[in-house]
Structure 1
């Protein structure tokens, strides 16, 4: 992507889609408000649209030319809002519905990663009917996570087998499917993609045992090292894998790929986020800022990508 500045040209009526009804609603509201304010300050005509309920009437009444998606989790990253906007012929930031759904389903994404030799921790899908049988083959430590969820919501570690059974049973009261995954000990990194450019590698050093929801969204609970203090070889490796994963899933405009690197220096893709956070503590804006793209410019750049698709169809 060309990182030259994009001015606040006439994008028409822009809707910032935020909120929704997923577990990540509070983060989506923070992301959406930040984007909304940045675009307003840039002189754009912007309307905020909360998709929690009854948003279609407001969406149609706003006569939108473009949509900026600041939704996280179910209803935002799973391809559903993308289908609605596509049917309404409103170009939007980020990936299309099929690619979004693929990235949001960790089991489908990991299946592709394995097929195309993108390193990812060994895993299995657990259901309410098969989990007790499948888990017998697994020795702790391992990770349990929902198949379709973000922001580390619902993720927990099992260190003792007896402890695991109760936690898994409780988790199945919320989720139909879970992922059991080999726990990787080592350093944690993330790599953002913007357009066709790979952003600098960030190392995450949480002050808690696990980079969980609280560590992600509470100031001061995680140290971010940018650029990450790693060798050129590992940097190139992480950036190359991130771009391959982004392209393999058919994503566009932006994504963020989360990694663990074990003590032998082997990287593993944990997951890929099709709509990364846009809060004050979010990682993709931090990485973009390091390359000279401030938050407002980042939002304008993404709108320009959506606008280019609109002009192409005109």
Structure 2
């Protein structure tokens, strides 16, 4: 194993670890990148950290491949993927199309609806929209989301038309595309994808109104259940749905699909993350550990999936 790994490490050449960036998720990306950097160094990989906010991206052409650990716009939306493909540098994760599509929650929902996959009813907000009309059509409460932000940034739960109006204004500070989605009361789950495999499902529990930014990265009262409490058949059904949903938006390599399960036992797709967090609060490493995959092994598997430059 060690000898084979040594040969494989040599074949990987110089690796650029992209993290930081300029999105609203910069701080999370820095933490994720630091954890991945430490793992790559432990593995003996020749790795160089690259922060697009401060480093000249032309230097990426000097590397043999790239490990993308950028969250949010500029790193998870197809922009850096397109630059890497133009330079013929292999990279981890989804291609240009998959990255761009999954980053846009509204377009993701349209793709899922077109594929016949279950996602909560929604309405695009803006123009001459009327909060009363949206509440009447979708019911309340509603989740209001900026379409192209991650880590629950800009998301608000609205209970009535006035709160919906305020939530729209709050989300609009992050994106000019905002939508409202029917709130699904029930349990929240997440399914990590590694290659073609769905890892063990994690059930999330928070005393907050929903699994928001603080619950994800700062709170100590968020609970993560793995085993998730579903029966073997129910978990397998959820895993299969997650894999189908990931493929429907051209997801590749690794990622994470978030799902709500209502009181009737129906699963509802929320969103896809094509560059999930890798911090000490993150869910993909947690799911990998439940499958017997160490953090270093997880990083290795993600890196070695970047074996060629792929079209979007």
TM-score bracket, normalised by the shorter chain, equals over 0.9
Gaps of 5+ in 1: none
CA contact (8 A) 2:122 2:181 kept: yes
Shift of 1:174: 3.6
Shift of 1:164: 2.3
State the TM-score, normalized to the length of structure 1.
Answer: 0.92
CA contact (8 A) 2:93 2:252 kept: yes
Shift of 1:170: 4.0
Which residue of structure 2 lines up, in the alignment, with residue 87 of structure 1? Answer: 86
Shift of 1:132: 2.7
Which residue of structure 2 lines up, in the alignment, with residue 56 of structure 1? Answer: 57
CA contact (8 A) 1:7 1:300 kept: no
Which residue of structure 2 lines up, in the alignment, with residue 230 of structure 1? Answer: 230
CA distance in 2, matches of 1:242, 1:171: 27
CA contact (8 A) 2:188 2:204 kept: yes
Mark the CA change 1:167 to 1:248 in structure 2 (over 3 Å): closer, same or farther.
closer
CA distance in 1, matches of 2:98, 2:204: 27
Match of 1:306, SS state, is coil
Which residue of structure 1 lines up, in the alignment, with residue 272 of structure 2? Answer: 272
CA contact (8 A) 2:154 2:170 kept: no
Mark the CA change 1:44 to 1:173 in structure 2 (over 3 Å): closer, same or farther.
closer
Which residue of structure 1 lines up, in the alignment, with residue 111 of structure 2? Answer: 112
Which residue of structure 1 lines up, in the alignment, with residue 214 of structure 2? Answer: 214
Match of 1:39, SS state, is helix
Which residue of structure 2 lines up, in the alignment, with residue 131 of structure 1? Answer: 129
| 1:21 is aligned to 2:19 | no
| 1:203 is aligned to 2:198 | no
Which residue of structure 2 lines up, in the alignment, with residue 184 of structure 1? Answer: 184
Which residue of structure 1 lines up, in the alignment, with residue 290 of structure 2? Answer: 290
Deviations 1:164-203 (A, max 9, x none): 2233234324421101100000001000110011100100
Gaps of 5+ in 2: none
Moved more, 97-106 or 133-142: 133-142
| 1:151 is aligned to 2:151 | yes
Moved more, 166-175 or 200-209: 166-175
Which residue of structure 1 lines up, in the alignment, with residue 41 of structure 2? Answer: 40
CA distance in 2, matches of 1:259, 1:171: 21
CA distance in 1, matches of 2:83, 2:158: 39
CA contact (8 A) 1:19 1:25 kept: yes
Which residue of structure 2 lines up, in the alignment, with residue 258 of structure 1? Answer: 258
| 1:103 is aligned to 2:93 | no
Deviations 1:65-105 (A, max 9, x none): 11001111001111000000000110000010111101111
